[in-house]
Amino acid sequence: MSLKYALLGLLAERPDSGYALTQRFEQSLQKYAWHANHSQIYPELAKLAADNLATVVEEGARGRRTYAITDAGREALREWLLTSGAGPRRVRNEAVLRTFLLSTLEPDDAAQLLRRYVDRAAQDLAELRAVVADLDAAEEAGEPQRFGRFAAEFGLRQYAAFHDWARWALARVESAAPRQQSREQGREQDLQE
Amino acid sequence: MSLKYALLGLLAERPDSGYALTQRFEQSLQKYAWHANHSQIYPELAKLAADNLATVVEEGARGRRTYAITDAGREALREWLLTSGAGPRRVRNEAVLRTFLLSTLEPDDAAQLLRRYVDRAAQDLAELRAVVADLDAAEEAGEPQRFGRFAAEFGLRQYAAFHDWARWALARVESAAPRQQSREQGREQDLQE
DNA sequence: GCGTTCATGTAAATGGTTACATGATTCC
DNA sequence: GGAATCATGTAACCATTTACATGAACGC
């Protein structure tokens, strides 16, 4: 069900082809909200058109078909947003799963992984800050964008929180096993026979 | 693939039955990391046993079968955690999707929803803080828990970030359309002219 | 004895991924 | 003319959800 509304949401911002929507998915939604690839998107667009929630408004080169949201589509989207918030919050996020399970590792393995996470979060943060700076500059210049800026800010705060958490977790893991983090392996003392 | 490792991870903490694992899924993983229900978990456990990554270590009342992770299972889990971090980070999170799409609504609708989100995040935060306090108290008393504390701290920081984001978004939406929000709640003081 | 919780499963349908397939257009 | 990109689709497979199904044990 969610894919349907994700597409309606993207179309509510502006009309686009399946190809373009696939790209917008990759850019704005994939990392935080929802993922889908083209083989799912094309049939779903056909379904939206069949249900009169979207229509083909243009046929261009290379069989390109541009879809636009209809009034019925906009209403369906609004309805879903305003009413559907109550249910259970189910999440699937493999990266987070990995971080949770990391506490099942030996402290040295866990610390090694956490260091990688901290580094990568820092990188992600730097990239997003650049994106946000661009968006803000564009806004200064007059454009009214909304969707992208919200998403970027969300990502920014999420990554910052993750970065902080990973450093907190690393400190905990290191203080739990403050032995040798000098050599990376060489664990000799753990045969407590 | 992820379900397999999620189960191995839970079993790495302690042996449990399919029934108990279903509950642990609901408590610790569902909200942030991964979701699965019993009809998926039972067959997957059978598969783990067939692959010798887990074994039945006890058969109790009511057909209860307790599974434990094997050495091979522990090694498979470690392998996955240490090597699989590179791929694309795909996320499915309906709640976040809804927050992103909210910027397609009329400002008044969006503001109304955001207020709900702010309130709920505050509630979630309060609940988690209580959980964390309990965990920390148990730790003071000697128990060495690891998994649950990491997850709880993660949730805490995540909800805090979401709460902040929602308030930021609300301020933006309200300043974009500062018309009539006088009724509906009773907030009079926010025209800080 | 009756209701609740414990406990496990299977089947049908839906949702999602990966692989296969095709061809037009653009840029060089 | 050849490579890259644009553009759409289908099919087979795997993952997940929902619904159906059963019965033992426990608390009262």
Note whether A150 contacts B103, CB cutoff 8 Å.
Answer: yes
| B177: pLDDT strictly greater than 90 | no
The separation, in Å, between residue A62 CA and nucleotide C19 C1' comes to 23
For residue A68, the model assigns a pLDDT of 98
Cα dihedral sign for B90, B95, B97, B103? negative
Q: Which ranges of A51-106 does DSSP label H, i.e. alpha helix? A: 71-83, 94-101
Interatomic distance A79 CA / D5 C1' (Å): 38
* CA torsion, ordered B104, B107, B108, B113, to nearest 10 deg: 50
pLDDT value of residue B190: 46
In this prediction, the residues of chain A whose per-residue pLDDT falls under 50 are: 180-193
A39 beta carbon to strand D: under 7 Å:
yes
A13 CA to D12 C1' in angstroms comes to 35
* Res B149: pLDDT: 86
| Contacting residues of B for A29, CB less than 8 Å apart | 97, 100
Residue B91: both structure tokens together: 């996320």
Compute the mean pLDDT over every residue in chain B, rounded to the nearest whole number.
Answer: 89
Structure-block tokens of residue A1: 């069900």
Average pLDDT on B33-56 reads 97
pLDDT in tens, B80-103: 999 988 888 899 999 999 999 998
The residue ranking higher by pLDDT, B63 or A184, is B63
Task: Write out chain A residues lying below 8 Å of B93, CB-based.
Answer: 32-34, 89, 91-93
| Burial B87-121, CB ≥16 within 10 A → b, else e | eebebbbbbbbbbbbbbbbebeebbbbbbebbebb
A158, B161 Cβ separation under 8 angstroms: yes
Is B137 part of the contact surface with chain A (CB cutoff 8 Å)?
Answer: no
**Which residue lies nearest D11, CA-to-C1' measured?**
A39
The residues facing B16 across adjacent strands are B67
Q: pLDDT band for position B183 (50/70/90)?
A: very low
Q: What is the structure's pLDDT at B88?
A: 82
Question: CA A6, CA A29: separation in Å to the nearest integer?
Answer: 9
From A163's Cα to the closest Cα of chain B, the distance in A is 10
Residue-level pLDDT at B145: 67
Q: Is A43 helix (H, G, I), strand (E, B) or coil?
A: helix
Asked if B35 and B79 count as a contact pair (C-beta separation under 8 A), the reply is no
Look at residue B188 and tell me whether its pLDDT is greater than 50: no
> Around B113, how many Cα atoms within 13 Å sit in the side-chain half-sphere?
26
Which tens digits make up the pLDDT trace of B116-142? 999 999 999 999 999 899 889 888 888
State the helix-helix crossing angle for B2-13 and B71-83, rounded to 10 degrees.
120
Given a cut of 50, whether residue B191 has pLDDT beyond it is: no
Nearest to B91 among A33, A82, A165 (CB): A33
Instruction: Identify all chain A residues contacting B33, using CB atoms and an 8 Å cutoff.
Output: 91, 93, 96-97, 99-100
Both tokens of A143, joined, read: 């454009």
Contact of B78 with chain A, judged by CB distance below 8 Å, is answered with: yes
Helix (H, G, I), strand (E, B) or coil at B91: strand
Q: What topology is assigned to B2-83 in CATH?
A: Arc Repressor Mutant, subunit A (1.10.10)
Nucleotide in closest CA–C1' contact with B39: C9
